[in-house]
Structures are given as structure tokens and as C-alpha cells.
């Protein structure tokens, strides 16, 4: 009988000893560590490397990788995958960064191989002509390319030049998206998106729909790793994750909910094995942050597909506080370190859930950060008002008005609070100040009839 392959093998004594030391081994319940799961899941990681203060970052993968880039850029990190010059064609496509979206591991592998080993690039063969003088590149999305072919190829090489920064970046972040893929049999090549319907109709036997298996994903991950090791001179520091963004629709003959569960779970399983024995390669649980959280706070616009920017900020704050040198591995929540962006994101989500006492508590815990952020103070004032803590609400509004005296909302709310607080004299003084600072807002002053 052949020996099975395990991703981990440990003696019973060693397993028991390790379990006794693991404070996070039990699944949370309402009365035990419940705040680690709801409203926002906060899975903990153990970094195997640190991101230096001056380290550069390159993010590649599905559309969630663009969210990662924006959050890291806003946090002051240099993100090489946002630094590109794609010429006139790139400029005409408005948000050229979207062309960095790679929805399957094969699409990622294609572009990085072509960028680092340019002689493997198929050239004009991957530029499909959809109408006379009109082209598209299914590796870069379905945008129309109404340019001469030589200009498109020059643009394509500019794009690969930008992709080649993956070899010089200090840190690589890879986000896996989907396993439903399309294959060009003529070129022997996986595509990034569905091929144009015109080409499918013209050559019906050329393309195949393929659903990747665990073995497909593992083989491509290992090929990508070998390619990076071959072309890098710096030690590889790499975070891998699965995008929480679900399938919009499926081409499989099944419920999209079932198809999406397979897509995410098979990639998640592959990454657990992929990181084994690879120094400097870690899995980061972006998928778990979103999938295990309260849907009310996890998704923006209530559409169940686009991750809330507040959640993205918290995820990336977690990355920074765990991985960036000097952060001492503290998680961005009320029990550890927190960034200003993470605090604002937290109180916004708590406000959505009506968790007013939690808002009060987290602001009190991080008083200095809260007192420096007018948006946090405004939310704290709302929470205190809902808790019938009128003095605390007034105090938060007073601080907000001091930070941003050119905003009328804090001052107007202070004036209205003076009535239940029985502070008519203060209200008159504030109303005079309002008239001087915001003379055009006479409609508000006319509503203050109780004075």
C-alpha cells in the first residue's frame, strides 16, 4: 500500500504539547472570544518574515489585489504594481491598473513568465481581431483596442516591463481569484477572461471551458515559485491569499453558490500545502476575514460581492501591524495596536450594527487617536447620544468642532444638544458663532425656535 501524503505529521506527544500552548485553538462562542468572530472575524497569523519600513511591494492577482494595493499605498508603502507608464493606449483605458487583474493562477503565471522571459511572449498571436482594425487581448480584459497592431504590441511590451518589477520588489502579494477558466487550444494557452463571442463563433473548436483541479492549482503555484526564485536576487518574501470576492456567475451546470464554494475552497486548500517548506512564504487570511464576518459589515452597497472599504482597511491594517518591522505583531483591534484608519473603519462598522457601547469603549481605549480624527469623534457623539450620554456626546462634538471649525455639522449638533442639556446661554453663544462662521446657513438658525 502506497504511503499517503500529509501536509503535516507530528507525534502524539508533540501534538498534545503544542495544543496546550495554543490559546486560539477553540472555536469562538458567544461567551468565549466571541468578538474574534462577530461582527468582524479577526483570524490571527504568525508571520515568518518582516516587511522593512522601506520595502517595496508588488501585488498581483484578482481584483481584490487592487484593493490591497490602494490600502498599502495609503499607508505610505511604495507599491511597484501601481507605478507604470503604459503610453497613449494605457491612458485611453482610464483605470489602467485594472489590466493587472489576473483571475486565475494560470493568468498570473502567463504574465510573469512573459515579463521575466520575454522570448516566451506569444506576441501578436494573443491579440485577437474582433472586427477589421479592432482588437482585444483576453489576457488583459475585454476592452476594445482600436489601434494599429504595432501600437498594441508596443503597449503590450510596456505592460510586461511594468510586470517585470515582480523580480525586484521586496514583497510580493498574490491573490488567487477563480478556478473557472478558458483555454485556447490553438495557442495551448489559458486565457484571463472569456474569449470574444465573435472568435468563438468563427472558430467553435478552438476554445474550451476548464475548471481547475487541486493538482492544476498546485502545479502552477510551484511553477510560479520556481520562476520567481530563478529571476530574483533578493530573498523572496511573499504573502498568498484567496480573494473573498465571489463568482458573479458560473459556467458550470450547478448553483453558483456551490460553484463558488468549490472555487474558493480548492484554492484555499492548495495554498496550505504550497507554503510548506518555503521560507518567507506565508498565507494571510483575507478570505476568512470577510467570509466569516457579519454580512452587514463585510459587503459594501449590500451587494454580497464587493468588500466594504472599511473591512479592507482593517485587513490591511492587520497585515501592517503583524508584518511591518516595529509593530510587535499586535493585531489592530481594541486589545492591541490600531491605526487611525482601522479605528475609523471599526467605528463605522459598529455604527452600521448599532453597537453604540462598543463604539464608546473602543474610542475610550484609543483616546488619543479618536481625539485626532473628526470622523471618529462625530460617530462617537452619535453613539453617546443613542446611549443617552448627552454630556459625552457634547464633548465629542466640541472636540470635532475644534479640529474642523469650517464644518457646520459639529457646531449645529452642539447647538441642538444644548436644549436637552438645558444650556440656553451656551446655545445662544454658539448660535452667534454659527451666524458669523456660516452666514449662508440661515435655514438652520431659523429652526432653533426654542431659544
Q: Mapping DSSP to helix (H, G, I), strand (E, B) and coil, where does residue 241 land? A: strand
Identify the CATH number of the domain in which residue 443 sits. 1.25.40.10
Q: Mapping DSSP to helix (H, G, I), strand (E, B) and coil, where does residue 109 land? A: helix
The answer to whether position 26 is within a domain reads no
Longest dimension (CA), the chain: 90
* Residue 334 pLDDT exceeds 80: no
Based on the fold, state whether residues 206 and 82 are members of the same structural domain.
yes
Based on the fold, state whether residues 272 and 409 are members of the same structural domain.
no
Based on the fold, state whether residues 316 and 429 are members of the same structural domain.
no
Q: What range defines the domain where residue 313 resides?
A: 36-329
The answer to whether position 338 is within a domain reads no
Q: Mapping DSSP to helix (H, G, I), strand (E, B) and coil, where does residue 22 land? A: coil
Band (pLDDT 50/70/90 cuts) for residue 310 is confident
Based on the fold, state whether residues 310 and 397 are members of the same structural domain.
no
Q: What is the pLDDT averaged over residues 122-146?
A: 88
Q: Dihedral (C-alpha) 81, 83, 87, 88: value to the nearest 10 degrees?
A: 90
Q: How far is CA 25 from CA 265, 283, 310, in A?
A: 21, 18, 27
The answer to whether position 80 is within a domain reads yes
Positions of E strands within 171-266? 171-176, 180-184, 189-191, 207-211, 237-242
pLDDT computed for residue 3 by the predictor: 60
Which stretches of 299-440 are DSSP H helices? Answer: 309-323, 340-353, 356-365, 367-370, 374-386, 390-403, 408-417, 424-437
Angle 38-42-45 from CA coordinates, rounded to 5°: 155
The answer to whether position 10 is within a domain reads no
For the segment 250-271, what is each residue's pLDDT rounded down to a tens digit?
999 999 999 999 999 999 999 9
For the segment 3-39, what is each residue's pLDDT rounded down to a tens digit?
678 888 999 999 999 999 999 999 999 888 887 887 7
Pairing of strands 189-191, 180-184: antiparallel
Pick from 122-126, 151-155, 255-259, 313-317: least confident: 313-317
Based on the fold, state whether residues 135 and 196 are members of the same structural domain.
yes
Contacts 24+ apart (CB under 8 A), 139-147: 139/107, 139/110, 139/111, 139/191, 139/192, 140/99, 140/192, 141/98, 141/99, 141/101, 141/192, 141/193, 142/193, 142/194, 142/196, 143/93, 145/89, 147/89
Chain centroid offset of residue 121 CA: 30
Based on the fold, state whether residues 196 and 296 are members of the same structural domain.
yes
pLDDT computed for residue 338 by the predictor: 66
The answer to whether position 295 is within a domain reads yes
Based on the fold, state whether residues 324 and 365 are members of the same structural domain.
no
* Residue 342 pLDDT exceeds 70: yes
Band (pLDDT 50/70/90 cuts) for residue 331 is very low
Based on the fold, state whether residues 239 and 362 are members of the same structural domain.
no
The answer to whether position 27 is within a domain reads no
Based on the fold, state whether residues 89 and 230 are members of the same structural domain.
yes
Identify the CATH number of the domain in which residue 141 sits. 3.40.50.1110
Q: How far apart are CA 73 and CA 300, in angstroms?
A: 21
Based on the fold, state whether residues 315 and 393 are members of the same structural domain.
no
The answer to whether position 17 is within a domain reads no
Based on the fold, state whether residues 215 and 361 are members of the same structural domain.
no
Q: Are 54 and 138 in contact (CB under 8 A)?
A: no
Identify the helix (H) or strand (E) that includes residue 282: strand 281-283
Q: Which three cell numbers stand for residue 162?
A: 511594468
pLDDT computed for residue 37 by the predictor: 84
Band (pLDDT 50/70/90 cuts) for residue 329 is very low
Q: Centre a 10 Å sphere on the Cβ of residue 342 and count the other Cβ atoms it contains.
A: 24
The answer to whether position 11 is within a domain reads no
For the segment 383-431, what is each residue's pLDDT rounded down to a tens digit?
999 999 999 999 999 999 999 999 999 999 999 999 999 999 999 999 9
Based on the fold, state whether residues 325 and 359 are members of the same structural domain.
no
- Number of compact structural domains in the chain: 2
DSSP label at residue 422 = T
Q: Mapping DSSP to helix (H, G, I), strand (E, B) and coil, where does residue 128 land? A: strand
Amino acid at each position: 500500500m502506497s504511503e499517503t501524503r500529509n501536509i503535516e505529521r507530528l507525534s502524539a506527544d508533540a501534538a498534545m504539547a503544542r495544543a496546550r500552548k495554543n490559546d486560539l485553538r477553540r472555536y469562538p462562542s458567544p461567551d468565549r472570544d466571541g468578538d474574534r468572530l462577530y461582527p468582524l472575524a479577526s483570524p490571527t497569523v504568525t508571520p515568518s518574515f518582516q516587511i522593512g519600513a522601506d520595502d517595496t511591494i508588488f501585488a498581483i492577482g484578482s481584483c481584490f489585489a487592487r484593493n490591497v494595493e490602494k490600502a498599502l499605498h495609503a499607508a505610505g508603502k511604495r507599491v511597484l504594481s501601481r507605478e507604470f507608464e503604459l503610453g497613449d493606449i494605457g491612458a485611453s483605458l482610464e483605470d489602467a491598473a485594472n489590466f493587472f487583474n489576473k483571475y486565475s493562477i494560470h493568468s498570473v503565471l502567463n504574465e510573469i513568465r512573459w515579463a521575466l522571459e520575454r522570448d516566451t511572449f506569444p506576441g501578436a498571436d494573443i491579440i485577437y481581431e474582433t472586427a477589421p482594425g479592432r482588437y482585444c487581448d483576453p489576457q488583459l480584459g475585454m476592452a476594445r483596442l482600436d489601434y494599429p497592431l504595432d501600437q498594441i504590441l508596443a503597449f503590450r511590451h510596456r505592460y510586461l516591463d511594468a510586470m517585470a518589477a515582480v523580480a525586484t520588489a521586496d514583497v510580493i502579494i498574490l491573490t488567487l481569484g477563480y478556478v473557472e477558466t478558458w483555454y485556447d487550444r490553438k495557442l495551448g494557452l489559458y486565457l484571463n477572461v472569456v474569449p470574444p463571442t465573435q472568435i468563438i463563433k468563427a472558430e467553435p473548436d478552438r476554445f474550451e471551458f476548464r475548471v481547475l483541479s487541486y493538482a492544476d492549482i498546485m502545479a502552477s503555484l510551484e511553477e510560479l515559485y520556481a520562476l520567481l526564485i530563478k529571476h530574483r536576487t533578493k530573498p523572496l518574501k511573499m504573502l498568498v491569499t484567496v480573494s473573498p470576492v465571489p463568482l458573479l456567475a458560473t459556467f458550470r451546470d450547478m448553483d453558483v453558490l456551490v460553484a463558488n464554494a468549490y472555487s474558493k475552497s480548492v484554492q484555499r486548500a492548495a495554498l496550505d500545502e504550497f507554503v510548506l517548506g518555503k521560507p518567507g512564504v506565508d498565507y494571510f487570511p483575507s478570505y476568512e476575514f470577510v467570509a466569516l464576518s457579519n454580512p452587514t459589515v463585510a459587503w459594501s452597497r449590500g451587494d454580497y460581492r464587493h468588500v466594504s472599504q472599511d473591512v479592507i482597511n482593517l485587513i490591511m491594517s492587520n497585515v501592517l501591524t503583524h508584518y511591518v518591522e516595529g509593530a510587535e505583531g499586535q493585531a489592530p483591534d481594541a486589545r492591541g495596536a490600531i491605526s487611525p484608519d482601522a479605528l475609523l473603519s471599526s467605528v463605522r462598522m459598529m455604527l452600521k450594527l448599532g453597537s453604540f457601547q462598543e463604539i464608546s469603549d473602543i474610542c475610550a481605549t484609543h483616546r488619543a487617536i479618536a481625539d485626532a480624527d473628526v470622523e471618529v469623534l462625530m460617530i462617537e457623539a452619535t453613539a453617546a447620544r443613542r446611549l443617552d450620554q448627552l454630556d459625552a456626546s457634547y464633548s465629542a462634538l466640541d472636540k470635532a468642532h475644534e479640529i474642523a471649525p469650517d464644518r457646520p455639522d459639529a457646531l449645529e449638533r452642539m447647538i441642538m444638544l444644548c436644549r436637552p442639556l438645558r444650556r440656553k446661554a451656551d446655545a445662544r453663544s454658539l448660535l452667534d458663532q454659527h451666524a458669523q462662521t456660516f452666514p449662508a446657513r440661515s435655514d438652520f438658525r431659523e429652526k432653533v425656535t426654542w431659544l
